Amino acid sequence: MSDVNKLEDRIRDLALETLKDVPKDFIFDFDLPPNKELGDLSLACFSLAKTLKESPDSIASKIAEKLKVENDLIEFAEAVGPYVNFRFNSEIFINAILKEILEKEQDFGSLKIKSKSDKYIIEFSAPNTNKPLHLGHLRNTLLGNAMNNLFIRNGVKSIKLNLINDRGIHICKSMLAYQKWGDNKTPETENKKGDHLVGDYYVLFDQKAKENPSLMREAQELLQKWEQGDQDTIHLWQKMNHWAISGIEETYRRLNISFDKVYYESEIYKTGKDIVLKALKKGLCEKLPDGAVQINLEPYGMDKKILIRADGTSVYVTQDIGLAKLKYNDFKPAKSIHVVASEQDYHFRVLFKILEIFGFSWAKNYEHFSYGMVNLPSGNMKSREGTVIEIDDIIVEMESLAKGEILKRNPNVSPIDLSGRSKIIALTALKFFFLKFTPAQEIKFNPEESISFEGATGPYLLYAYARIQSVIRKAPVNRIDPKDINLANLQEKEERELIKNLFIFQKILAKSMTEYNPAILSNYLIRLAQLFNVFYHKHQILETGNEKLLNSRLSLITAVAWVIKNGLDILGIETLNEM
């Protein structure tokens, strides 16, 4: 329990003393007031009014009266209609926030809160080994990674899981095209990342198949050969998969993304079929005349669904059934979250319903984290038509843009700094762009306009952080000691605004997690950096001529930097000390 939370709890207790008949676990609606002058925090009385059957205005004034009496904690309290606005005693308030943050700052790496025993699985990214990762994967991967970090930071154990789709008809398409037209090319001979080389043949297949439909049948034959273990086919598959997976792993490294556990579909695709066959014996599915196995979901408002084809092969949902069981066996998660775009909403409704029908009680812990698709101005991205933006390409392009921006401002930067900074700035701009949208929103990605280094962007946050580091470097004291803060010094309204917003950092993290929405954190960080820039512009930090004020303001900006760094860290973004 942090000191910050204790403040709210004390307000709560005081209010409860005044109000009879309110359950002890009642959740109070604390929020920042809309206007700077109103106070540090406000309490909305609407839900209290419902519980007490009394008007919110009169409850608000009762609470305000009570808070006015308790003057060790509250400096000022006032009922404004149905709201109680109050200002904390400065010393207590700032102590609670700044000390808490500064103490953590001194031990930056070990912030992770003690874990509960519950364990979550977050499954995301899901690359296919027939093409490079594109912007759709990027959004997916960044969301999954950020959610994992939010869980951990909120004290929940979380496992990052990736399923590599390395078999199936789509894989055989690129294999067939390579067999026919590959000419023994390799990533080395072509000086090309393996995933990009494989992707070229996937696109080529689609072009050729338009003129020659029989290629599709050949690809199916290749899949059958693969399933039968045909040596040549397996060798080709291994060779091309190795190229593709190496390339994909390289992209993950560039993005700074890692996984705790990776499943390969080729290793697990049979488990789902076994489960379905057992369910068939129990009478939970039916066998069609041609031998296919089907489940009837019509009683649940969905269509009938084939689970095993007449030729005995399994479909997509069947493999997901198998994976679901496997994940349960391996981890017994309290929650298992699939991060998958909204185009598969129906697929997951079907999957979860089937798991329920099959009697898996753990199925209720499985969730689909749905998010909107990434589109280009020209429409949807389609790999096989080559109308995609690949992650590797966009990173290169953005690094070059970032270099230009750096040189524009600092022509004498050393080549090493130029390269290091441009990498981080480019990645920051890219990642933050994808994480500032509410997940449910579709993203229209316009390469010319979407990526910017100014305004509400990742680099804006980096810049605020670097400015703070620069001030701290120039400060006469090289270490902030929490015990030396003279709290009463921070009375400017810009300072108070910053402190109020630092106060809600933990709440923002909790809200981002429970709503599965990293954009709440992203938007909060922008707001905080904006407030810092206003403060920075208006008030001197180093040249105040007042030792105590200097120390207080250094403490304040250190705390702001700490929150920005931690927030960005959760979003999977590194910071820079100089820009």
Partner RNA sequence: GCCCCCAUAGCUCAACGGAUAGAGCAUCAGCCUUCUAAGCUGGUAAUAGAGGUUCGAUUCCUCUUGGGGGUACCA
Tokens of 302: 């969905």
Q: By CB under 7 A, which span of 26-34, 202-210, 355-363, 499-507 interacts with RNA? A: 26-34
Q: How far is the CB of 425 from RNA (least distance, A)?
A: 5
Determine the residue type at 9.
Answer: D
- Kindly state the smallest distance separating residue 504's Cβ from RNA, in Å: 13
Nearer to RNA, 158 or 285 (CB): 285
Residues 334-363 that bind RNA (CB under 7 A): 342-347
* Joined tokens for residue 311: 């030729």
Give the closest residue to 268 by CA, choosing from 347, 418, 166: 166
- The single residue among 63, 339, 425, 559 that binds RNA, judged by CB under 7 A, is 425
Beta-carbon count within 10 A of 332 CB? 12
In the bound complex, what is the minimum distance in angstroms from residue 409's beta carbon to RNA?
Answer: 5
Task: Choose the binding region for RNA from 97-105, 141-149, 202-210, 529-537 (rule: CB under 7 A).
Answer: 529-537
Q: How far from 4 is each of 92, 101, 487, 501, 504, CA to CA, in Å? A: 10, 10, 16, 12, 9
Q: What is the separation of C-alpha 559 from the centre of its chain, rounded to a whole number of angstroms?
A: 23
Distance in Å, CB of 103 to RNA, minimum:
24
User: Number of residues in contact with RNA, rule: CB under 7 A?
Assistant: 94
User: Would you say 206 or 405 has its CB closer to RNA?
Assistant: 405
Token pair, residue 360, equals 């898996």
- For RNA, give the closer residue by CB, 52 or 471: 471
Residues 386-405 interacting with RNA (rule: CB under 7 A): 402, 405
How far apart are CB 189 and RNA at their closest, in Å? Answer: 29
Contacts to RNA from residues 202-241, by CB under 7 A = none
d(CA 3, CA 1): 7
23 counts as binding RNA under rule CB under 7 A: no
CA–CA distance, 511 with 532 (Å, rounded to integer)? 23
Contact 83, 90 (CB under 8 A): no
Region at 258 (left for phi over 0; alpha for psi -120 to 50; beta for the rest):
beta
CA 71 to chain centre: 42
Q: Closest separation between CB of residue 114 and RNA, Å? A: 28
Question: With binding defined as CB under 7 A, does residue 328 bind RNA?
Answer: no
Chain centroid offset of residue 367 CA: 16
Task: Output 22 or 38, the one with its CB closest to RNA.
Answer: 38
User: Closest distance between RNA and the C-beta of residue 92, in Å?
Assistant: 21
Which tokens go with 75? Answer: 């400096």
Q: Nearest approach, Cβ of 81 to RNA (angstroms)?
A: 7
With binding defined as CB under 7 A, does residue 262 bind RNA?
Answer: no
x/- contact string, 117-156, with RNA (CB under 7 A)?
A: -----------x----------------------------
Residues 231, 165: Cα–Cα separation, whole Å: 21
**Residue 176 touches RNA, criterion: CB under 7 A:** no
Q: Which of residues 16 and 306 has its CB atom nearest to RNA in the complex? A: 306
Q: Which stretch binds RNA (CB under 7 A): 16-24, 356-364, 525-533, 567-575?
A: 525-533
Q: Which of these ranges, 100-108, 186-194, 434-442, 561-569, lies near RNA under the rule CB under 7 A?
A: 434-442
409 touching RNA, by CB under 7 A: yes
Q: Which of 170, 196, 338, 565 binds RNA (CB under 7 A)?
A: 170
| Residue list 442-461, contact with RNA (CB under 7 A) | 442-444, 449, 452-457, 459-460
Q: What is the largest CA-CA distance in the chain?
A: 90
The backbone region for 375, taken as left when phi is positive above 0, alpha when psi lies in -120 to 50, beta otherwise, is beta
DSSP bridge pairs for 163:
263
Residue ranges of the alpha helices (H) in 332-375?
345-357
With contact defined as beta carbons under 8 Å apart, do 439 and 512 qualify?
no
Supply angle C-alpha 405, 408, 410, rounded to 5: 105
Cβ 80 to RNA shortest distance, Å: 4
CB of 307 to RNA, least distance (A): 8
